[in-house]
Amino acid sequence: MSDIQYITESGLKKLKEEIHQLETFERPSISKQIAEARDKGDLSENAEYDAAKEAQGLLEMRISKLKNTLANSRILDESKIDTSKVQLLNKVQIKNLNNGASMTYTIVPESEANLKEMKLSVSTPIAKGLLGKKVGEKVEINVPNGVMTFEIIDISI
């Protein structure tokens, strides 16, 4: 039984592109490496062959995992996102009341998290603590460094 994973349109596109890249370019490349290593003779002592076969196994496992994710994905309709309270795909501006710093994060599915782009995974302690809260609410969240207090300044898409 597989877990349903929510994904955005752009996340779905990236997932399909990665599968295409792996199947169209990486798989034939590894098959070629295996054939070249096999042509060199005795396979029992051929490190190149062993390395290529291992790379092939890892590639096939990655493709299988991505296809499983694709099969169990449900696209989120961004036009139906509510901004009255924090939820998946909301852009949330918060103020850290411990140090006064303000930051804006977009709450995204785990597969699309990227801190450089300020995309926070829904499974992180901060995102979990913000979910369901409204503008003006103060939230205490247990993080690895201790307890942090945030105030929700704005919620948008």
Pick one of 3.40.50.10480, 3.40.50.720, 3.10.50.30, 3.40.50.150 as the CATH number of 78-156.
Answer: 3.10.50.30
Q: 5-75 in CATH: which number?
A: 1.10.287.180
CA 125 to chain centre: 16
pLDDT digits (tens, 9 = 90+) for 4-32: 777 888 888 989 999 999 999 999 999 99
Longest dimension (CA), the chain: 71
- Mean pLDDT of the region 119-128: 91
- Mean pLDDT of the region 83-96: 90
Q: What long-range pairs does 137-141 form, CB within 8 A, spacing at least 24?
A: 138/97
Is 90:155 a contact under the CB 8 Å cutoff? Answer: yes
**Does residue 73 surpass a pLDDT of 90?**
no
Beta strands in the chain (DSSP E): 5-7, 73-75, 91-96, 102-108, 119-121, 138-143, 146-156
